Chains A and B, each alone.
Chain A
Amino acid sequence: MVRKLYCFLASAIFVPSLLMAASAEDFYRGKNIRIVVGFSAGGGFDTYARAIARHIGKHIPGQPSVVVENMTGAGSLIAANHVYKVAKPDGLTIGHFIGGLFLGQVLGQKGIEFDARKFEFIGAPISDHVVCALTKASGITSVEKWMASKTPVKMGGIAPGTSTPDNATRVLKAALGLPIQLVTGYKGTADVRLAAESGEVAGGCWGWDSVSVTWRKALDTGDAVVVLQANRIIHPDLPHVPLAIKLAKTDEARKLIEVGIHGDSEIVRTYTLPPGTPKDRVQILRAAFNATLKDAEFLADAQKSKLNVDPVPVEEVEKDIQGLFKLDPGTINKLKDILYN
């Protein structure tokens, strides 16, 4: 009797959903998609997610409503584990947590309960462009002066394992032999900036999107100077700033920068789906995501919020993440040593 009841309940719930899956277009009609963001409301991840949530619904057949949920904690690892283990793979949950966790899995970071290779990916709206900005008062106004500094130059950090500033700074120090003392423990990049202005540290290395907006005034007056950039290409705003990869002297150094900074920058803002999400819904969401990032209304919103949009294609994201799992043990150990010690 009881078993019959269960069967009935199960079929009552499952059969319709199977029927709906047959036509994904009908599936999304009247549904509610949630974007689980691993950081608190008002932060960078949240701002992008909310801008996308406002516009992506109209690019999905059936025009579902889209809400943002903030699931904060452990540097977004809680959200990542949730999307992997708890969230139903029905195409109604999209995860947005920091992409540095994928490298974390390869390096054996504690607390990770997911396997990055099993997630479905949608893409990323932007890749980070890491720069190192230092104050004029520190005396380090070019990478040559930095190299020549007799004492370690104090650079601000937030916490070990953070993609920027900490990981980027540590990789640059190890790969280029720059004299750096990483002073970590500031609450955020804004606090690092304040510490630099008061002369406590010389500067910091994090995304140009953030530096260019929040440190605009000092950059204009020359009180702060970008002395180094770490990306595969030169940023159009920074034509005369040297690229880190060009300064690297050995293959190993180039590999560290490539994996630890370039690759990480591309996947840092990846949007993810739970493993096992039906392929047709994955395709629908990927297409909608791409269409949103080209949507004129979305771009107008983004421009007003000073959110740069430079989509990273999903193929590129997948390539970067698969690449992490093909790293040789030597590089992995070297990275572990640099980032966690």
Chain B
Amino acid sequence: MLDMLNALMSGLIQCFTWSTFSLMCIGIAIGFVVGILPGLGGPTAMALMLPFVFKMSAVEAFAFLLGMTAVTATTGDITSVLFGVPGEPTTASTIVDGHSMARNGEAGRALGAVLMSSLVGAIFGAVAIAIAVPIVRPLVLSFGSPEFFMLSLLGITFVASLSGEDQLKGIIAGGIGLMLATIGLDPISGTQRFTFNQLFLWDGIGLVPITIGFYAIPETIELAVLGTSIATQEVTELGGVMQGVKDTFRHWWLVIRCSALGTFTAIIPGMGAATTQWLAYAHAVQSSPNKERFGKGAVEGVLGPGAANNSTLGGSLITTIAFGVPASVIMAILLGAFIIQGIVPGPDMLIPEPKGHLSLTFSFVWVIIISNIITVGICFLFLKPLAKITQVRGSLIIPIILVLIYLGAFAEKNAFEDMLVVLFFGALGWVLEKLEWPRPPVLLGLVLGPLAENRLFLSSDNYGPAWLGRPGVLIIFAIILLGVIYPIITKKREEREKSASVSEAQATVEVAKPGGLRFTQAALFTTFVAVVLALALLQSRHFGFRAGLFPWVIGIPTLLLTLVQLAKDIMGHEKPKAAAADWEMVVDVAPEVARQRTISILLWTVGFFLAIWLLGFSNSVLVSMILYLKIAGKEKWPMTIAVSFFTWLFVYGLFERALSIPFPDGLLLTWIRGS
């Protein structure tokens, strides 16, 4: 025990030596920028920095790298809130309510909340490392593939609470997400599933392009249609920052629960912050008494993921340190750094000096805490000007967001096709939004699907049917049952209590409903979903049992539920509210103008992509920006030139020159050169 305390103190002291502290600050500065910029992810930045690690001592090296990593999830949240484009793949979930808050003129409050909860989450995760030291090895070794499978199943049941008011649509959306997750090479048999002979689909569709498409593109369209700044409502008080900080403490237990969720889930290999953020978001929704506020700017929807995506680092680090099993790409690179330093992660990391490296492990704890305190402190200084971005007129912001969309989509895997994926899911996301289908269940299904499928087969291969009887499996199964049944019981009870007072209101709804069969836009889309699912099932009959089982088990019920939804759509069982009406209420835009603007922004979005295709990335940024600002934005020349030039300089200088991101040459240029 005394050894532990000694190591804890020694870890702290080591962080404050001059060289370590200054290297940590450099790391923080890099992580700060990396987090904010979409398309420039933590893993890339870390790999680039790895060579510098050679000359550092172990404590210095990890202060530098961890300082950098620890802050990306914090500053990535800022981009998500302000622009609706995820700054990091791990900060996508803060868009849902964070960006809605920004649109409601509460950017300051959202940023205050997300930063404060990030800090709490980071500290929680770091403290968890310290506490977990004695128990982590027996704990993780008692988990096998069957338990990992059950935990991912538990995660999938969270879809229900992400579904909002319409449970049926939510469950179908979750099913679609799980089906999307089966795209690619099946890891057990190597069968190609839904790849259409496209190599880029072998590894499945990435979370990043889907998320960007789902959220950033509909946001851009809306911004253009409304013709306002990001904040559609008057920004009453920029001091909303303090309000956000207070919110963190007002919802203290939620923040702590989500932090714990992030840390403990991340101990499982394969569950990174890309997953935990959505689980935390689902938990925030589930535990709230008024769920209908979510997606429209509920601060709890910001606090939960804000805390979880930061606390995850602690959890993943536990697995990396104790077993040398990297829980994520970042951890894999960190593992490389361990080896450069001549340290092999494993049991030694948990034993005090001189036999082990416990004080090094504890220095990680301190680095995470200190770097987050510094980052959040610095962010608070800049929050007011940052929040003002939401008041800049849309015509200036839109082309910049379009650049960020394509940059973020391309640079994750340096894949040109991912820009097409963004466009496709942008269109899908826009339709889903307009027709009031929930988008988060799709993403949750997408991240948990592969884990569930893989671990299911590993379980049955390793244990046969006996895995079903393992105590861990039974315990988690009981938790799943409880989680599914309890909300149903409480809902029934609430309904019974309310039934008397509501019956009258329902009667009026019945009247408002148009009678007879109708084939609306909603029904058209549901038909589309059903047809695609049916075609997918049809194709999957060639997969064989191993590769086919998962698509069938997911696809058939999803298709049946979609048909139920279709029947509902056609029979006219829908709320008598005009779906398209609500944004027109906020800012007065005539339907005719709205339609013109919609068509215009759709053309610009596709045009940006075509320009990239024909002219190459950097050139097209300059050309498209000038054209957009001059024609669509009607900006004056000096402003047009200045904004275009600086955006170009940023893309060309930072991404193309400094980071040598391999943007493909424009088709037109290649053609001219070649002919």
Interface, chain A (partner B; CB < 8 A): 6, 9-10, 13, 32, 34, 36, 40-43, 46-47, 50, 54, 67, 69-75, 77-78, 81, 110-111, 154, 158-161, 181, 183-188, 190-191, 193-195, 197-201, 213-214, 216-217, 301, 304-306, 340
Contacts and interface: CB of A to CB of B under 8 A. Distances in A.
A15 to B, nearest CB: 13
- Chain B at the A interface: SS class: helix
B675 A10 contact: yes
B190 A160 contact: yes
Given A71-B414, A185-B454, A190-B269, 18 more contacts: A6-B672, A41-B43, A41-B48, A42-B43, A50-B47, A74-B185, A74-B199, A75-B202, A78-B199, A78-B200, A158-B187, A159-B188, A184-B187, A190-B325, A194-B269, A200-B462, A301-B54, A340-B190
A183 B462 contact: yes
A176 B414 CA distance: 43
Contacts of A34: 660, 662
Interface string B196-232: 0101101100000000000000000000000000000
Contacts of A50: 47, 50-51
14 contacts: A6-B675, A34-B660, A40-B43, A42-B333, A73-B200, A74-B185, A74-B202, A158-B187, A186-B458, A194-B323, A197-B141, A200-B145, A217-B346, A304-B340
A183 B190 contact: no
B408 interface: no
Interface in B326-348: 326, 329, 332-333, 335-336, 339-340, 342, 344, 346-348
A138 to B, nearest CB: 13
A184 B185 CA distance: 13
Contact of B332 (A32, A42, A199, A304): A42
Contacts of B199: 73-74, 77-78, 81, 111
A198 B461 CA distance: 15
A46 B43 CA distance: 12
A241 B400 CA distance: 61
Which of B50, B185, B190 gathers the greatest number of chain A CB atoms within 10 Å?
A: B190
B270 interface: yes
Contacts of A193: 323-325
A47 B336 contact: yes
Contacts of A111: 197, 199, 202
Given A73-B202, A190-B325, A213-B339, A185 B188 contact: yes
Given A34-B662, A184-B187, A74 B203 contact: yes
Contact of A187 (B143, B269, B457): B269
Contact of B462 (A67, A110, A154): A154
- Chain A at the B interface: SS class: mixed
B203 A72 contact: yes
6 smallest beta-carbon distances between A and B, as pairs: A41-B47, A42-B333, A160-B190, A74-B202, A67-B660, A190-B325
A123 B278 CA distance: 46
Given A13-B673, A69-B414, A195-B145, A185 B203 contact: no
A260 B187 CA distance: 21
B178 interface: no
B118 interface: no
A258 B270 CA distance: 35
B202 A213 contact: no
B207 to A, nearest CB: 14
A150 B614 CA distance: 64
Nearest to B414: A71
Interface string B264-298: 00000110000000000000000000000000000
B520 interface: no
Contact of B344 (A190, A200, A217): A217
A69 B660 contact: yes
Nearest to B184: A74
Nearest to B674: A10
A167 to B, nearest CB: 12
Contacts of A186: 458
Which of A32, A72, A198 gathers the greatest number of chain B CB atoms within 10 Å?
A: A198
B324 A190 contact: yes
A54 B48 CA distance: 11
A89 to B, nearest CB: 14
Contacts of B346: 216-217
Nearest to A47: B336
Interface string B450-471: 0000100110011000000000
A54 to B, nearest CB: 6
Contacts of B203: 72-74
B580 interface: no
A117 B340 CA distance: 37
Contacts of A201: 462
Contacts of B335: 190
